[in-house]
Amino acid sequence: MASVNVENLSALSAKHPKPANTFTYGTAGFRMKADLLDSVIFRTGILAALRSKKLDGKVIGCMITASHNPAADNGVKLVDPMGEMLEGSWEAHATALSNAQSDEQLVDYIHSMVSSLKIDLTKPANVIIGRDTRPSGVALVNAFVDGLKVLDAKSTDYGILTTPQLHYITRCLNTVGTPEAYGEPSAEGYYKKLAAAFKTLVDGKTKLSPLILDCANGVGAPKFQEFLPYLGDSLSVKIVNDDTDNASKLNLNSGADYVKTGQRAPVGHKMTSQDRCASFDGDADRIVYYYQDEDGTFKLLDGDKIAGLAAMFIIDLVKAAGIDSIKVGVVQTAYANGASTQYLRNTLNVPVSCVPTGVKHLHHEALKYDVGVYFEANGHGTVVFSPSALKTIYSAEGSSPAQAVAIRSLRALSEVINQTVGDAFSDLLLVETILTQRQWNPKVWDQAYTDLPNRLVKVVVQDRSIFKTVDAERKLVEPAGLQDAIDAIVLKFRDGRSFVRPSGTEDVVRVYAEAATRSETDELAHRIGGLVFDFNSQGSGPRPREFI
């Protein structure tokens, strides 16, 4: 067994000393204040090289981003060869490497991985890198590349990209020259593929009014600008919140997270009832739509609404194409609005699965369907087509002109959708396709069902790790007795539903509540918030005044 060149490792590691902190590779990779990340990212470079060697030199992706977090934060996520998130079992290795206390421990851990996972260190390693617009990104890319040098991995730096572009390019590189070839491995290849499919889908249809697109002053702004020429006059978009020169503006009072969490429009555009609007998050893997009613009420069309729209459209197309052997399913999390689940099950008659929070869980579950539509309420999501569904779609001929048109649309749909991961650009084109084909404004789309009022509350606790959930996070098994107490309260509310789970990205416990009316929902959320606080928050600060 080859071993690590310890001298080389020590020289490189000396440039990236570990601070006293403890790190965890979680749902969103490593994410924290950028000035704490240098050693973590150096070591993630070592891990990426090991992952590539383990997979026989397949290309691994690395994205440096902290998504919707403030500008001072940054983070890193690794991408597996087909463009999916790093395999779950490797997250623990990422955590262990990042916490090694000395070079000796680092070397020992690498060697333990090499032996337990049977990694051949003489194999080549190939890694590609992308980053968002954060100023801290450049130095962190250098730290990552130093990590790659420990194991002589080859790397290509693609510079500034959206997260989904990096996922797309990773898959393209690993499938080039195979029957599964995913496309040209470049941002340009991505633009060309998506734009060509979109043009096919809206060909001959009357164009909709311009879409006001809030890019959260993040990477979505320059990248969508770059995309526009490829779309030509097939889509009209007015980009707002596109100031990436001024780093402090990133995600500030704008972006999908601000809009979804606060249920309000972003600052930066004065919305009127004529406008159609959408917001990306800071790395453009999330999108929400919204509009304003005639009476000035803000109306959100979130990930659940996008899932309903996409499922409805695909089911209709499959029928119209005469290939309804293809079964469509939808994957949601416990955060999906109860009304959306009802709509999917009872109106569209599609199977709906519920899985724990985090794109990787939804993606994995969606692969079980012929066509799996998955969205988190917060706007992360996409559609995945199984190989057999694709085969059916591409071999179908159609016995009437109408069937042929539907088949052509399905093919183009599978191309316009980024199937590697939720992608705000591609989801935007999916929604615009459906709205254009139907000639719907946001209000018509919104009529599918009416959201139950809902509220999300954060509770600062002493130790969030004592909160253990089962049943896709809908039930607490620990601390003992808490779920019974929650159930007893929920019973008193019409259409009441509430669950409690520890956040994977912040040091808090989250409470979700929905009920028949706004005031009942608020009361339910604040009662459960109070219950959780009283269980485990002694000494963590004052009890929020609104808690009951």
- By the criterion CB under 6 A, which residues form the site for ligand 16G? 27-28, 357-359, 376, 378, 380, 503-506, 510
Q: Which of residues 14-43 bind Mg ion (CB under 5 A)?
A: none
Residue 283's binding partner out of Mg ion, ligand 16G, none, with CB under 5 to 8 Å set by partner kind: Mg ion
281 known member of a binding site: yes
254 binds Mg ion (CB under 5 A): no
74 known member of a binding site: no
Rounded-to-integer distance, Cα 486 and Cα 474, Å: 11
**Using CB atoms within 10 A of its CB, is residue 156 exposed (0-12), middle (13-18) or buried (19+)?**
middle
Which one among 84, 146, 214, 285 touches Mg ion, defined by CB under 5 A? 285
The residue among 219 and 371 lying less far from Mg ion, judged by its C-beta, is 219
Q: Which of residues 360-419 bind Mg ion (CB under 5 A)?
A: none
Per-residue DSSP letters for 41-59?
HHHHHHHHHHHHHHTTT-E
Residue 155's binding partner out of Mg ion, ligand 16G, none, with CB under 5 to 8 Å set by partner kind: none
In whole angstroms, the minimum distance from the beta carbon of 285 to Mg ion comes to 4
Residue 281's binding partner out of Mg ion, ligand 16G, none, with CB under 5 to 8 Å set by partner kind: Mg ion
Q: Which of residues 333-352 bind Mg ion (CB under 5 A)?
A: none
Element (H, E) at 157: strand 154-160
The answer to whether the beta carbons of residues 292 and 299 sit under 8 Å apart is yes
408 known member of a binding site: no
510 known member of a binding site: yes
Residue 18's binding partner out of ligand 16G, Mg ion, none, with CB under 5 to 8 Å set by partner kind: none
Active site residue 409: no
Question: What x/- string results for residues 64 through 93 when contact with Mg ion is judged by CB under 5 A?
Answer: ---x--------------------------
Closest to 298 in 3D by CA, of 446, 431, 495: 446
Per-residue DSSP letters for 329-352?
EEEE-TTS-HHHHHIIIIIS---E
Peptide bond into 479 cis (omega under 30): yes
Closest to 396 in 3D by CA, of 383, 382, 414: 414
Listed ranges 62-70, 148-156, 192-200, 391-399: which one lies at the site for Mg ion (CB under 5 A): 62-70
In whole angstroms, the minimum distance from the beta carbon of 286 to Mg ion comes to 5
Tokens, residue 179: 């029957």
Closest to 38 in 3D by CA, of 149, 146, 164, 195: 146
378 known member of a binding site: yes
Q: Which of residues 264-283 bind Mg ion (CB under 5 A)?
A: 281, 283
Active-site choice (13, 39, 52, 67): 67
The residue among 285 and 365 lying less far from Mg ion, judged by its C-beta, is 285
Measure Cα distances from 72 to 38, 211, 219, 503 in Å.
14, 30, 15, 21
Based on its alpha-carbon atoms, the radius of gyration of the chain, rounded to whole angstroms, reads 24
471 known member of a binding site: no
Residue 31's binding partner out of ligand 16G, Mg ion, none, with CB under 5 to 8 Å set by partner kind: none
The answer to whether the beta carbons of residues 75 and 66 sit under 8 Å apart is yes
Rounded-to-integer distance, Cα 339 and Cα 209, Å: 29
In whole angstroms, the minimum distance from the beta carbon of 145 to ligand 16G comes to 24
Tokens, residue 459: 């509770």
Binding-site entries for substrate: 376-378, 501-505, 510
Binding-site entries for Mg(2+): 67, 281, 283, 285
Catalytically active residues, by annotation: 67
Interface contacts to Mg ion, rule CB under 5 A:
67, 281, 283, 285-286
